[in-house]
Chains A and B, each alone.
Chain A
Amino acid sequence: MTTKLDPGKVAQLLTQSSRQLDNSTLSALAEARQNAIERQLVRSSVAVLSTGRWTHNLIPHSGQQWLATGLLVAILMFSAGYWQHAQERKISELDVAILTDELPIEVFVD
């Protein structure tokens, strides 16, 4: 069996019972409510930032993160440069080998 709740009556009952509470309980409840509202505001603003602007997550926020970014960029650039240099060196060694081999160049060229 289900009883239909009248929201108006419930609110009236709650108001009546809240009048019976002492001041310290009322102020504790008010403080808890205020805290809950503040927490909800912070959560919703973070959600907007993280879903609306993905770039926000890409940009380093602290000096430490900028330093780490700089170091990573430097390491990656150094590695790319080193790899490129090694490739060029390998190609030039091959070119010299082809140009100086006992076999004529026509053997390797179509």
Chain B
Amino acid sequence: MFLVFTRPLLTALVLLPFLVSSPVSAAPESWQSLSPAQQEALAPLAQQWDSLPETQQHRLLITAKGYPHLSHVEKQRFQERLTVWSKLTPEQREAAREKYQAFKKVPADTREEVKQMIKQEQQQKAQQTDNSDAETANQ
């Protein structure tokens, strides 16, 4: 009776790694073979798409599925950041995901304070850039 269950279990456990060890990624897809919706979402990557690693293409295609459900502002941000995002190493992207998740766990009021601080910093930087541009133009 014992062997009735252990033999199949042992055999299944031995076979499983061989059966699921096939690579996750699909075959590389050329830019031309993407659907219009995929091309729209990933438009900033049109030039370098064919040279991207298969695993990255696969991940980006999954990410692009969420694009049609975004608001107009979110779509703009998505496309503006996509090129920078695609140039990161897998380790950098993983670290960014971890940071993002950690940030989401911070209490809402603290998170809001951080957001305000970052916005102020960005405004200051933008003003400094404008001023230096104006000075250069005057000279």
Question: Which residues of A are at the interface with B, using a C-beta cutoff of 8 A?
Answer: 57-61, 64-66, 68-69, 71-73, 76-77, 80-81, 84, 88-89, 91-105, 107-110
Q: Is the CB of A64 within 8 A of B4?
A: yes
Question: Shortest Cβ distance from A95 into chain B, in angstroms?
Answer: 5
Q: Is the CB of B7 within 8 A of A98?
A: no
Q: How far is the CA of A41 from the CA of B15 in the complex (A)?
A: 34
Question: Which residues of B are at the interface with A, using a C-beta cutoff of 8 A?
Answer: 3-5, 7-16, 19-20, 24, 59, 62-63, 65-67, 70, 74, 77-78, 81-82, 84-85, 88, 92-93, 95-97, 99-101, 103, 115, 118, 122
Q: Is the CB of A69 within 8 A of B63?
A: no
Q: Is the CB of A68 within 8 A of B118?
A: no
Question: Shortest Cβ distance from B15 into chain A, in angstroms?
Answer: 6
Chain B interface main SS type: helix
Q: Is the CB of B59 within 8 A of A92?
A: yes
B111 — nearest CB in chain A belongs to which residue? Answer: A103
Of the A-B pairs whose beta carbons lie under 8 Å apart in the complex, a sample of 25, sorted by A's number, is A60-B11, A61-B7, A66-B8, A69-B7, A69-B12, A73-B15, A76-B12, A76-B16, A80-B20, A88-B62, A91-B62, A92-B63, A92-B66, A96-B67, A96-B70, A97-B100, A98-B81, A98-B97, A98-B100, A99-B77, A103-B115, A105-B84, A105-B85, A107-B99, A109-B88
A77-B19, A108-B103 given; A92·B65 CB < 8 A? yes
Q: How far is the CA of A59 from the CA of B19 in the complex (A)?
A: 17
Q: How far is the CA of A66 from the CA of B11 in the complex (A)?
A: 9
